[in-house]
Amino acid sequence: MGQTLYRKIVDSHTVFRVDDEHVALYADLHIMNEYTSPQAFAGLAEKNLPVRCPEKQMGVVDHVIPTHPVAVDKRTIMIDAAAQQAANFTRNCVKHGIHLFDVRDRAQGIEHVVAPEIGLIRPGMVVLCGDSHTTTYGALGALGFGIGTSEVEHVLATQTLVYRVAKDMRIVVEGALPDGTTAKDLVLYIIAKIGAQGARGFVVEYAGSAIDALSAEARMTLCNMTVEAGARGALIAPDETTIRYVAERIEADAFVAQWKQLKSDDDATFDITHRFDASEVAPFVTWGTSPDQAIAIDARIPRLADEPVAHHNASKALTYMGLDADQALDGLAIDHVFIGSCTNARIEDLRAVADVVRGRKVAPSVRAMVVPGSGMVREQAEREGIAQALIDAGFEWRQPGCSMCLAMNDDILQAGQRCASTTNRNFEGRQGRGARTHLMSPAMAAAAAIAGRIVDVRKEFQHV
């Protein structure tokens, strides 16, 4: 019987089988941040253990770092607890010989943006990180997934992980995405269709003509947010798009033939297969407090379901968001726009934003921020004139970091503020206690900044 791409990667990285469900999985790369690593390093110190493979680790300060638009060499973490966290992380990385993108490093950025752009992610790898959005790397045919703090310690000490093998799901998307829609709209559409737990226990492999047509960066958005459907991983088989992206960053000729074999066999069996038509996708916006609570911009918030749990969850979300069932999101006033995060802060995302706002002005009632995903993205946007277009339109042009994706730094929304956001989660309090988050694509967020309300970018900005 044929194998899926997921099983091929797992088998090729299995050191030994622990039992019927678990294997000892070798990690090609382990990425750390200042937030999920302190206890792991403390555990090593208590046991007097070294880091087994420091050359296979990478550290990035990204969650707690401020993004104020100051010179890189002037960046300073002013929150005492966060500053201590970053300082401890730096000491641990130096002690163990781990390469670190520190606070004042020009190449610092969000871990899931930095790693692919500097050529560390390659097809067929297993990549681990103490962050759930490590699924991003499936865009390049690498198996990436998030791990817990105790697992971080285990990987540091052994370069392996006791791993429970997942089930296989295939999501096939055929056809072409309509004008004005993006990978962000597609993934919100899929999550809304299958639910926030629809892929729980599975690694998802994406396939189909719509997936083939996506750029490498768009695929990163898709795989990044697949975890919001409960998936344990996401994969796209390497193709010419993948190889071109990686080959622009490393010497790849010796590996291309091998990478082209990384695909599911024709007779491979998937536990579940979903099929979608890309032509049905419209710009999507979340209305609730879970990424699956999303609708097309030209639809209305669903009426409350009869089923008790679904009724309770939707009612609770609507109360928190200050919305009503059967209400339209088109025209809803917003206070803030945030464009950034490991989901949508790459150069293609910023180009899309600039296309919408160039020659226009941010609405007076809106505070709009753009936080590039890395120092490299920031510099490229400045070279291309994107940064100036954003500044001219009235956006704040910030330094890289996780920023307002989550309330762990000083970029925080106030209670009751409503934000059009390109991030990946809209949980209660995610961007600040009592803050209200609407997830959408970069183009949709840019249009909301200009209009001062959530609008359909296809109608309001027809040239986009």
CA 15, CA 8: separation in Å to the nearest integer? 14
Domain match, 43 and 95 both? yes
Of the residues 248, 280, 312, which one is the last residue of a structural domain? Answer: 280
Domain match, 196 and 151 both? no
Based on C-alpha coordinates, what's the Rg of the chain? 21
Check: CB of residue 454 under 8 Å from CB of residue 331.
yes
Cα 70–74–76 angle (5° rounding)? 100
Domain match, 108 and 57 both? yes
Domain match, 300 and 271 both? no
Check: CB of residue 132 under 8 Å from CB of residue 341.
no
Q: CB-based contacts of 387: which residues, under 8 Å, 6+ apart?
A: 378, 381, 397
Which residue range forms the structural domain that includes residue 182? 165-280
Residue 464: pLDDT band with limits 50, 70, 90? very low
DSSP class of residue 128 equals E
The arithmetic mean of pLDDT across residues 304-312, rounded, is: 93
Query: What CATH number corresponds to the domain at position 246?
Result: 3.40.1060.10
The continuous run of DSSP H or E covering 15 comes out as strand 14-17
Cα 319–325–328 angle (5° rounding)? 110
- Longest Cα–Cα distance of the chain, Å, equals 62
Nearest-CA neighbor of 418 among 294, 327, 289, 291? Answer: 289
The yes-or-no verdict on residue 463 having pLDDT over 80 is no
Backbone angles phi and psi of 145, in degrees to 5? -160, 160
Domain match, 187 and 270 both? yes
User: How many distinct structural domains can be found in the chain?
Assistant: 3
The arithmetic mean of pLDDT across residues 6-35, rounded, is: 97
Domain match, 289 and 434 both? yes
The arithmetic mean of pLDDT across residues 392-402, rounded, is: 98
Size of the chain in residues: 464
Q: What is the pLDDT of residue 36?
A: 86
Residue 460: pLDDT band with limits 50, 70, 90? confident
Domain match, 336 and 452 both? yes
Question: How many angstroms separate the Cα of 411 from the Cα of each of 7, 401, 408?
Answer: 41, 10, 8
CA 195, CA 291: separation in Å to the nearest integer? 9
Q: What is the pLDDT of residues 39-50, one digit of tens each?
A: 999 999 999 999
Of the residues 280, 302, 326, which one is the last residue of a structural domain? Answer: 280
Q: What is the pLDDT of residue 1?
A: 84
Q: What is the pLDDT of residue 393?
A: 98
Q: What is the pLDDT of residues 226-274, one digit of tens each?
A: 999 999 999 999 999 999 999 999 999 999 999 999 999 999 999 999 9
The arithmetic mean of pLDDT across residues 397-415, rounded, is: 96
The yes-or-no verdict on residue 35 having pLDDT over 90 is no
Query: Percent of the chain scored above 90 by pLDDT?
Result: 97
CA 380, CA 399: separation in Å to the nearest integer? 13
Residue 405: pLDDT band with limits 50, 70, 90? very high
Domain match, 354 and 255 both? no
Domain match, 266 and 322 both? no
Q: What is the pLDDT of residues 422-441, one digit of tens each?
A: 999 999 999 999 999 999 99
Domain match, 173 and 200 both? yes
The yes-or-no verdict on residue 33 having pLDDT over 70 is yes
The yes-or-no verdict on residue 397 having pLDDT over 90 is yes
Q: What is the pLDDT of residues 90-105, one digit of tens each?
A: 999 999 999 999 999 9
Query: What CATH number corresponds to the domain at position 315?
Result: 3.30.499.10
The continuous run of DSSP H or E covering 60 comes out as strand 57-60
Q: In what order do the strands lie in the sheet with 167-174?
A: 233-236, 202-207, 167-174, 272-277
Domain match, 373 and 330 both? yes
Q: What is the pLDDT of residues 63-96, one digit of tens each?
A: 999 999 999 999 999 999 999 999 999 999 999 9
Domain match, 159 and 229 both? no
CA 422, CA 437: separation in Å to the nearest integer? 10
Check: CB of residue 204 under 8 Å from CB of residue 173.
no
Q: What is the pLDDT of residues 156-172, one digit of tens each?
A: 999 999 999 999 999 99
Of the residues 163, 192, 216, which one is the last residue of a structural domain? Answer: 163
